[in-house]
């Protein structure tokens, strides 16, 4: 499942002319009050919309996508049918089939699918992908070059053989990911280009939990996600004593990242020799933050308040 999660959370296009359209679907069984199916659509790694079978809602998260659907309501109707008509039935049958391969008749189980395409606006190159995960592990993957399924678990072999025999379905998936989805993506990008190609600079802060903890250089609110962050000493990049975090999405479509510096061996008089550098694709000027004790924000003294707040939330949801 590591591959699936990495594709979903950390896969980001490496060039300003590359775009992606990705759909993430999760079906569950044996989990009270959890939707039997949820689905998310992402454009250039930003959540564009989602649906929830319990709430019976299809929510569009991006304003420019709402105007797109205003102009093409039939496209929205298609997504609505998939969310509440086709997908729940398909995944209910599929998760039952997978459970049989594992000799399971009940219990908590989750089946996930991620599929979509990447399109290079400059070269026209298109790459499609489709992969399934089951109970936290990779399960099946479609090879669009050989037009066969790859079993990633022994229990997936029987399903692989069955699906390989259905040539029409494989051709349909190939057409979906290499023809239909790229055409949709091109229309989406053309309509939302002013938003998708924008640049937003982050707010950069120095954070530290305790005096002996690493100092975290944290940038949030930047867009796009093609960014780098690192620490320097005397103008030279540091690799030792530095822990670089992944780029993560914010709820508003922007991104955040961090780089931690271990200062246990750094004397106070040497702090001025260190700085944190943030670089964003398409922006010439770097954002440089000097390591300065006066600029560090801490959360010391807030642990008890946070614990009480979390306990309160827990009690609320129990009732």
The answer on 189 and 45 residing in a single domain is: yes
CA 229 – CA 259 distance, rounded (Å): 6
The answer on 146 and 47 residing in a single domain is: yes
Where does a domain end: 197, 215, 238?
Answer: 197
Q: Does position 83 have pLDDT exceeding 90, yes or no? A: yes
Cβ-based neighbours of 115, under 8 Å, separated by 6 or more: 22, 23, 128, 129, 130, 131, 173, 176, 177
pLDDT of residue 109: 94
Cβ-based neighbours of 292, under 8 Å, separated by 6 or more: 206, 271, 272
The answer on 209 and 193 residing in a single domain is: no
The answer on 172 and 218 residing in a single domain is: no
Q: Which domain holds residue 53?
A: 18-197
Pairing label, strands 248-249, 274-280: unpaired
The answer on 189 and 95 residing in a single domain is: yes
Task: Please give the DSSP secondary-structure letter assigned to residue 121.
Answer: T
pLDDT of residue 13: 38
pLDDT, tens digit (0-9, with 9 covering 90-100), for 178-234: 999 999 999 999 999 888 888 899 999 999 999 889 999 999 999 888 899 999 999
The answer on 234 and 182 residing in a single domain is: no
Comparing 160 with 196, which gets the higher pLDDT?
A: 160
CA 158 – CA 101 distance, rounded (Å): 8
- Find the range with the poorest average confidence among 112-121, 152-161, 259-268, 300-309: 300-309
Q: Does position 287 have pLDDT exceeding 60, yes or no? A: yes
In a domain, 152, yes or no: yes
Q: Which two tokens stand for residue 225?
A: 């996600």
Work out the average pLDDT over 300-319. 38
**pTM (two decimals):** 0.70
Work out the average pLDDT over 86-111. 94
In a domain, 83, yes or no: yes
Mean pLDDT across the chain, nearest whole number? Answer: 87
Q: Which CA distances in Å does 78 have to 36, 45, 58, 65?
A: 20, 22, 11, 15
The answer on 35 and 55 residing in a single domain is: yes
The answer on 111 and 190 residing in a single domain is: yes
pLDDT band per the 50, 70, 90 thresholds, residue 299 = low
Where does a domain end: 197, 232, 256?
Answer: 197
Q: Which two tokens stand for residue 207?
A: 């954070």
The answer on 185 and 101 residing in a single domain is: yes
CATH number of the domain that residue 254 is part of:
2.60.40.10
Quickly list H helices, 11-146: 63-71, 73-81, 87-101
The answer on 180 and 77 residing in a single domain is: yes
Work out the average pLDDT over 157-168. 97
The answer on 231 and 135 residing in a single domain is: no
Task: Please give the DSSP secondary-structure letter assigned to residue 246.
Answer: P
Q: Are 298 and 207 in contact (CB under 8 A)?
A: yes
- Find the range with the poorest average confidence among 46-50, 116-120, 179-183, 213-217: 46-50
* Percent of the chain scoring above 90 in pLDDT: 71
Q: Are 73 and 80 in contact (CB under 8 A)?
A: no
Q: Are 118 and 126 in contact (CB under 8 A)?
A: yes
Work out the average pLDDT over 287-315. 61
Work out the average pLDDT over 1-12. 41
Comparing 71 with 56, which gets the higher pLDDT?
A: 71
Q: Are 196 and 42 in contact (CB under 8 A)?
A: no
Q: Does position 38 have pLDDT exceeding 60, yes or no? A: yes
Where does a domain end: 160, 177, 197?
Answer: 197
Q: Does position 18 have pLDDT exceeding 90, yes or no? A: no
Work out the average pLDDT over 274-292. 94
Give the chain's domain count.
2
Cβ-based neighbours of 226, under 8 Å, separated by 6 or more: 12, 13, 14, 16, 280, 281, 282
Q: Does position 149 have pLDDT exceeding 70, yes or no? A: yes
Q: Does position 309 have pLDDT exceeding 80, yes or no? A: no
The answer on 174 and 59 residing in a single domain is: yes
Q: How big is the CA angle at 22 (ends 171 and 131), to the nearest 5 degrees?
A: 55
pLDDT of residue 103: 95
Q: Does position 1 have pLDDT exceeding 60, yes or no? A: no
Q: Does position 318 have pLDDT exceeding 60, yes or no? A: no
């Amino acid at each position: 499942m590591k591959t699936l999660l990495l594709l979903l959370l950390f896969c980001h296009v490496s060039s300003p002319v590359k775009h992606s359209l990705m759909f993430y679907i999760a079906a569950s069984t044996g989990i009270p009050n959890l939707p039997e199916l949820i689905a998310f659509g992402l454009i250039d790694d930003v959540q564009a919309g989602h649906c929830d079978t319990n709430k019976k809602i299809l929510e569009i998260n991006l304003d420019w996508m709402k105007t797109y659907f205003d102009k093409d309501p039939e496209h929205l109707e298609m997504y609505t049918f998939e969310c509440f008509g086709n997908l729940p039935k398909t995944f209910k049958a599929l998760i039952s089939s997978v459970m049989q391969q594992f000799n399971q008749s009940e219990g908590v189980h989750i089946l996930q699918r991620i599929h979509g395409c990447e399109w290079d606006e400059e070269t026209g190159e298109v790459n499609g992908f489709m992969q399934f995960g089951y109970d936290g592990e990779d399960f099946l993957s479609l090879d669009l070059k050989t037009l066969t399924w790859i079993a990633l678990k022994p229990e997936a072999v029987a399903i692989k053989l069955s699906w390989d025999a259905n040539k029409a379905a494989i051709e349909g998936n190939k057409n979906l990911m290499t023809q239909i989805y790229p055409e949709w993506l091109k229309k989406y990008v053309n309509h939302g280009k002013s938003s998708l190609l924008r640049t937003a600079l982050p707010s950069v802060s120095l954070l530290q939990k305790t005096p002996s903890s690493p100092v975290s250089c944290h940038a949030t609110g930047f867009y796009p996600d093609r960014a780098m962050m690192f620490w320097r000493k005397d103008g030279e990049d540091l690799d030792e004593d530095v822990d670089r975090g992944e780029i993560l999405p914010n709820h508003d479509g922007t991104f955040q990242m961090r780089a931690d510096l271990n200062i246990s061996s750094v004397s106070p008089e040497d702090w001025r020799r260190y700085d944190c550098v943030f670089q964003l694709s398409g922006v010439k000027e770097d954002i440089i933050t000097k390591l300065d004790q006066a600029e560090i924000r801490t959360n010391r003294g807030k642990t008890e308040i946070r614990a009480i707040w979390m306990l309160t939330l827990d009690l609320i949801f129990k009732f």
